[in-house]
Chain A
Amino acid sequence: QLQLQESGPGLVKPSETLSLTCTVSGGSISNYNYYWDWIRQAPGKGQEWIGNINKAGNTYYNPSLKSRVTMSVDTSKNQLSLELSSVTAADTAIYYCATHPPRNNWFDPWGQGTLVTVSS
């Protein structure tokens, strides 16, 4: 059974780049024709879908964040990465990774999430 775990700095300064990693266990990314998603939840707000990537490195980003987002996949490490540039306080959120097979547009499983605070 797949398990996902996010990791990365809990504090990022304004204007800098947020960088997170999602480590996949219980299976190899290379063996799944899945989409690997990043989702975030700002304090007191609902979830926001950031985008996704597949094992070939094909990406789809939310247009609202597209200019600042970069996702990548490292199949040798079984990891996904998220970079969000030029962060502001509005990017303070719990960041989750999740996954879903093509055409099944529901997320299962999710990682536990990691809180990133943007502050000087």
Chain B
Amino acid sequence: DIQMTQSPSSLSASVGDRVIITCRASQSISTYLNWYQQTAGKAPKLLIYAASTLQSGVPSRFSGSGSGTDFTLTISSLQPEDFATYFCQQGSSVPFTFGQGSKLEIK
């Protein structure tokens, strides 16, 4: 199985800050990397697919980059509704696997 490692596992930031979350795959997955946002009690929401394509309706302050084994999710200017948990998922091969999540909290 492909192992997905996210960092940091948690971080504190303020409204307006720029935040970067990283995801590393244990082997090359090309650009088969997806990012999700999850808030407590709600369904996970797809933010970015294929490493850098913004899902329809997702604000442009979210962006993704990377290929091969190293990927980043960037939030350019944090908004109050962005404080949530973010996780990555590889879609390169089954079984699909996920990062352990990065919890973004208000400083």
Contact = CB atoms under 8 A, between A and B. Distances in A.
Category for how many chain B residues contact A = 20 to 34
Interface string A8-35: 0000000000000000000000000000
Contact of B91 (A63, A106, A111): A106
B91 A48 contact: no
Interface in B87-107: 87, 89, 91-92, 94-101
A110 B91 contact: no
Contact of B43 (A45, A51, A106, A110): A110
Interface residues of A, number: 22
Contacts of A111: 43
Interface of A: 45-49, 51, 60, 62-64, 96, 98, 104-113
5 contacts: A46-B100, A47-B44, A49-B94, A62-B94, A96-B44
Given A107-B46, A110-B45, 10 more contacts: A46-B99, A46-B100, A51-B95, A63-B95, A96-B43, A105-B32, A105-B34, A105-B92, A106-B50, A107-B44
Interface of B: 1, 4, 32, 34, 36, 41-46, 49-50, 55, 87, 89, 91-92, 94-101
